[in-house]
Amino acid sequence: MPAPYLTAAFYLFVTLPDFEARKAPLLALCAQRQVKGLILLANEGINSTIAGAEGDVRAVLAYLRADPLLADLQHKESWSDKPPFHRMKVRLKKEIVTMHVPDISPTLMAGTYVQPADWNALIADPDVVVVDTRNDYEVEIGSFAHAINPKLKTFAELPAWLDAQPQLAAAPSGKKPRVAMFCTGGIRCEKSTAYLRARGFEEVFHLEGGILKYLETVAPEQSLWQGECFVFDERVSVGHGLVPGPHALCRACRQPLEPGATESALYEAGVSCPRCHGTTSKAQKSGARERQRQWERAKARQALQEDL
């Protein structure tokens, strides 16, 4: 029997000139269906992870796909025994994935998609530069063997890093190297490969469906993935078959807790962990305590509804 909560992750780069007007109807529908999670809307498209009862999540997906602009929306799904989210937010953004580089169009310039079944052969080629486009705390708990870690704090740092790498310099002949890029679900790679193509790279590839599709479809004995994949919900991390991993989450910095972090004097649930304790003020910690109380109340209400 399947777990009761369906999580759907999806994004689509598409011009949405009326994206602001879409917020209220989406919020109303999700409230009606008791679907929780986060939806980002921008002129360049939509990016989201939502969860709830299967019929309710599929109703939201059907509503979105009924719009001709979003008819091609694809999603990835997973199941859990506990609700991955306890609140619903729809946010209006300048970009659905922030890069701060104007005139980059993934709909027109994204690199070549590579299916998970073909990914191993590509990244095993010694002439291919393989780049993990995720943030440092994500790479910390897992990545593909021999991939370059840019050690990013935010995705917006990637363009400057790419421009500075000797591995990506053109050969004396003027030919630029072949580059393979990957991320959690594919969205960051759409922009990063479009950026490289705008810089004159002709052979740029990215993993279709991201790490999650690879872990879902590639057998462990054939896999080149090492460790776990960080995900932005209550599962925190997943492994092969998208089985939830062993990691816990700091609700203050939204990063995975290091081993032994909860035993540290610098750890306070929802407020700080050893990684982020020194980066926030007393006022910020006070605000985090209030958010933690709100989260605990929302979680308690959810549990009460399940018992009724």
What local confidence, expressed as pLDDT, does residue 125 receive?
95
How many structural domains is the chain composed of? 3
Q: How many CB atoms lie within 10 A of CB 200?
A: 9
pTM of the predicted protein model: 0.80
Q: Assign residue 188 the CATH number of its domain.
A: 3.40.250.10
* Whether residues 216 and 123 fall in one domain: yes
Residue 237 maps to a domain = no
* Whether residues 216 and 274 fall in one domain: no
Q: For all residues of the chain together, what is the average pLDDT? A: 91
What local confidence, expressed as pLDDT, does residue 306 receive?
58
Q: Assign residue 22 the CATH number of its domain.
A: 3.30.70.100
CA dihedral sign of residues 79, 85, 89, 93 = negative
Residue 57 maps to a domain = yes
Q: Characterize the bridge pairing of strands 88-92 and 36-42.
A: parallel
* Whether residues 135 and 215 fall in one domain: yes
Q: 184: domain range?
A: 106-227
* Whether residues 257 and 301 fall in one domain: yes
What local confidence, expressed as pLDDT, does residue 133 receive?
97
User: Known catalytic residue: 183?
Assistant: yes
* Whether residues 218 and 111 fall in one domain: yes
* Whether residues 221 and 262 fall in one domain: no
pLDDT in tens, 38-74: 999 999 999 999 999 999 999 999 999 999 999 999 9
Helices 210-217 and 116-123 cross at an angle (nearest 10°) of: 100
* Whether residues 131 and 45 fall in one domain: no
Whether pLDDT at 143 is above 70: yes
Residue 79 maps to a domain = yes
Whether pLDDT at 308 is above 60: no
* Whether residues 32 and 136 fall in one domain: no
Q: Characterize the bridge pairing of strands 178-182 and 204-207.
A: parallel
Percent of the chain whose pLDDT exceeds 70: 97
The domain boundary residue, chosen from 92, 115, 130: 92
**Mean per-residue pLDDT for 160-167?**
92
* Whether residues 139 and 213 fall in one domain: yes
pLDDT in tens, 206-219: 999 999 999 999 99
**Mean per-residue pLDDT for 299-305?**
68
* Whether residues 22 and 62 fall in one domain: yes
Of 183, 229, 250, 273, catalytic: 183
What local confidence, expressed as pLDDT, does residue 86 receive?
85
The pair of structure tokens assigned to 104 is 């980059």
The domain boundary residue, chosen from 227, 257, 274: 227
What local confidence, expressed as pLDDT, does residue 302 receive?
64
* Whether residues 85 and 19 fall in one domain: yes
Counting other chains too, the contacts that 235-240 makes at CB distance below 8 Å and 24 or more residues apart are: 235/78, 235/80, 235/84, 237/141, 237/142, 238/78, 238/212, 239/215, 240/215
Res. 17 pLDDT band, cuts 50 70 90: very high
